[in-house]
Amino acid sequence: MNTPSQAKPQLIIIGNGMVGHHLVEQLIERGATEQYRITVFGEERHRAYDRVHLSEYFAGRDAESLAMCDADVYADGGVELRLSESVTAIDRDVGEVVTDQGRYPYARLVLATGSYPFVPPIPGHERDNCLVYRTLDDLDAIRAAAENATTGVVVGGGLLGLEAANALRGLDLDTAVVEFAPRLMPMQVDAEGGELLREKIESLGVQVLTDRATQHIEDGQASFHRMVFQDDKVLETDLIVFSAGIRPRDELARDCSLEMGERGGVVIDDRCLTSDPAILAIGEVALWNNSIFGLVAPGYQMAKAAADTLLGGKLTFEGADMSTKLKLLGVDVGAIGDAHGNQTPGARTFRYLDEIKQEYRKLVVSSDGKKLLGAMLVGDNAYYDTLMQYYANAMELPEDPAALILPSTEGAPTLGADALPDGATICSCHNVTKGAICATIDAGATDLGAVKASTRASTGCGGCAALLKSVVDHELEARGVEVDQSICEHFAHTRQELYDIVRVEGIKTFGELIDKHGHGSPQSPGLGCDICKPAVASILASCFNEPITDAAHIPLQDTNDTFMANMQKNGTYSVVPRVPGGEITPDKLVVLGQVAQKYALYTKVTGGQRIDLFGARLEDLPDIWGELIEAGFETGHAYGKSVRTVKSCVGSTWCRYGVADSVGMAIQLEHRYKGLRSPHKLKFAVSGCTRECAEAQSKDVGVIATEHGWNLYVCGNGGMRPRHAELLATDLDDAALIQAIDRFLMFYVRTADRLQRTSVWRENLEGGLDYLKAVVLEDSLGIGDELEAQMQTVIDNYECEWAGAINDPEKLKRFRSFVNDARPDPDIIVTEERGQLRPA
């Protein structure tokens, strides 16, 4: 029976951050609005947003895309959300909160006020352009200040400080980090890890100043500020961002005389109750067992305990693990448990340091070597998940614990889903165990989506997504449930199965494929979807290499392939002609300059040794490419899931250390494999000696010259999850090298999943590197000739897609902004910066 609304006791939640929002979610899910009238006060104008990914605000995400829920979730759930209304006091005597707009009675009250950025009391810290990095409004202020700045400094080299440094670098500021401690991230890494972290960050162009205490800030001579340090050295900068730690937002609790910690924070018990039983506290404002937890996962666990307390349950908060896996300025950093090894007497440590690859790993184990007490990772977090499971579940370590951090041809060690105990935590954000996932499956969940909906696993930071899928698939199969690997709702097949069907039956159109093996009819309107159409387009191109611009194939392409250019954020396109091996004649350089001038294009040399021309309007693309093709250029396939570039050093042509012609080999490889469509983009490199100036060991295909031939490395990549390539073969002559690459690429194209990089494909390959060697080098499957023939078909059918398009009036009809108007897009607005045009 429903209680009349006005008779329900009032529950007020102060704070609408991630933890406060999670509490509201818990209360709505558990039907708390039947018991309480719930009101939430948020002092910001934005509803709860994802602070974990706050820096993506500078990369194009807006407040709405960062929001934790849709705008109507609170109202639909029976919760009143009052934004832009600050609570200024709590009157415990009468049970009311006071805001800048009125007084509101409460029966129960939850403090979820979070924390604020600590600004050291440095004389001059209150000057203009001295900012903090905490909220969306803070980021708006930083962006506004950066418009008139060229340099920026972050005070604080911890987790948030490096996030802030990344933001300043993204705003095109020359950036420096100033840290009081002797190293960056002193809470997470030791001296060796800190030094490596410094090197990696400085290599990205960020200046790092450690062991520096700022004495005062004054007017600069060349810049807006001058920072004066304890040794009287100075640093000038236009913008300063303070990120020197956080402090609990506990002023409301302090003013109403709740019990406080000696250094701040509202004291709570295991049920999240403060010294006043009507008031609870959660998140970074709460002090539990003399500890404040500055991560979102412990806050979520507090929110669950608080919701249970409010609803009469007995769930308690029992502390939280502070292990973290981060990517800061693109650099992996991981810390697990007692990473410094100073909390357990007799602990033993194992360290691995590779100064060339810039990787550092440290294990801290019990005195008997059987239990993992902590771990530290800098440069490669691929080892984190396995180490975390050993630590979190107190699993007995292998006989040689050091093997867990030593490099291997098999890559980072992994634990199968069957090796994990039921108590293993799969999702730390929502504290979901393997046992909870198994219970959900036993209760009727039959796919990954149902498990996520029921447990909320992988809906927080998302870092557990791969492990969650592995556990769900394993548990479903163990129960005799067939795991659906269909590529989408239109095809009950995997990508590999579709590839085999296309090859065996010689199917050359999407319509024929879906008619024979899919759901629907070729004449159906809106046939296919954004998953299957590009996947099939890639398969057809990999098999037969017909032009993607042909009438039968163009409806399958995404925007970039449709217009054979990468769409940029302002609706213009990039033009990237092929420059094989990075070698280009002066005449061609002149043409690129002339085209860029004529069409007002922004020019940039890429890391793949090509020249990008940005800002091309859609209707100008055919004319631009007409001039480039006339000068001897061809498409660089920068827009496709295909072979992009073959980077090279100058090799024996010029370098006194070179032992082979790396430029010539790079050009040969690029011309051979140009136009090869694949499940994901492919990058190559050729180095003329083991000094490795072309960085071949970070590419999908890497070739390094030796005194006796070529060494072949495969399955490396950069990006969000960097992975070093693995040595497949040594001392190959030119013919053997080409044969091995042909087979490797076609085996990958044939067997990889949709949008699966070579590194991920290799990690999932049964039998690992030894199996791949057997297939490619020893032809263990007897398909070597077939793979080579497939590659030759692709090579024989290559044509420059732009050359074909500019000579076909039908294909050129696509290149206009409006179907019924020949005018250019009026919404494209640019501004000038450093002598070039960029999006306004």
Q: Do the beta carbons of residue 157 and residue 210 sit within 8 Å?
A: yes
Helix%, strand%, coil% for the chain, nearest 5: 35, 20, 45
Q: Do the beta carbons of residue 404 and residue 413 sit within 8 Å?
A: yes
Phi/psi at 613 (5° precision):
-115, 115
Q: Do the beta carbons of residue 136 and residue 44 sit within 8 Å?
A: yes
What is d(CA 183, CA 207) in angstroms, rounded to the nearest whole number?
A: 13
Query: In this structure, how many other beta carbons lie within 10 angstroms of the beta carbon of residue 315?
Result: 16
The pair of three-digit structure tokens given for residue 275, joined into one six-digit string? 């010294």
Bridge partners (DSSP) of residue 288 are: 268, 291
SS3 of 90, please? strand
633: amino acid identity, one letter = F
Q: Do the beta carbons of residue 793 and residue 545 sit within 8 Å?
A: yes
Within 290-434, strands assigned E span: 324-328, 331-337, 348-354, 359-365, 372-378, 425-427, 432-433
624: amino acid identity, one letter = I
C-alpha separations of 531 from 491, 520, 640, 840 in Å: 10, 15, 15, 33
> Which contiguous run of DSSP H or E holds residue 477?
helix 465-478
Token look-up 């999908």 returns 700
The pair of three-digit structure tokens given for residue 284, joined into one six-digit string? 């970074």
- Give the number of residues written for the chain: 840
HEC letters along 765-821: CCCHHHHHHHHHHCCCCCCHHHHHHHHHHHHHCCCCHHHHHHCCHHHHCCCCCECCE
Q: How deeply is 654 buried, as exposed, middle or buried, from its count of CB atoms within 10 A (0-12, 13-18, 19+)?
A: exposed
256 is in an annotated binding site: no
779: amino acid identity, one letter = D
Q: Which residues have C-beta within 8 Å of that of residue 603, sequence separation ≥ 6?
A: 592, 593, 596, 611, 612, 613, 614, 836
Q: Which has the closest alpha carbon to 434: 414, 413, 416?
A: 416
What is d(CA 301, CA 295) in angstroms, rounded to the nearest whole number?
A: 11
> What does R_g of the chain's alpha carbons equal in angstroms?
29
Q: Which residues have C-beta within 8 Å of that of residue 771, sequence separation ≥ 6?
A: 765
What is d(CA 422, CA 672) in angstroms, rounded to the nearest whole number?
A: 51
Q: Helix axis angle, 784-796 relative to 734-751, nearest 10°? A: 90
CA atoms within 13 A on the CB side of 588: 17
Within 700-747, strands assigned E span: 701-706, 709-714, 726-732
689 is in an annotated binding site: yes
The pair of three-digit structure tokens given for residue 97, joined into one six-digit string? 């909160």
Q: Which has the closest alpha carbon to 830: 615, 636, 513?
A: 615
C-alpha separations of 123 from 161, 181, 217, 228, 247 in Å: 20, 20, 6, 10, 20
272 is in an annotated binding site: no
What is d(CA 374, CA 326) in angstroms, rounded to the nearest whole number?
A: 16
What is d(CA 711, CA 703) in angstroms, rounded to the nearest whole number?
A: 6
The pair of three-digit structure tokens given for residue 145, joined into one six-digit string? 């200040």
What is d(CA 133, CA 159) in angstroms, rounded to the nearest whole number?
A: 12
Q: Which residues participate in the annotated binding site for siroheme?
A: 693
Q: Which residues participate in the annotated binding site?
A: 649, 655, 689, 693
Q: Which residues participate in the annotated binding site for [4Fe-4S] cluster?
A: 649, 655, 689, 693
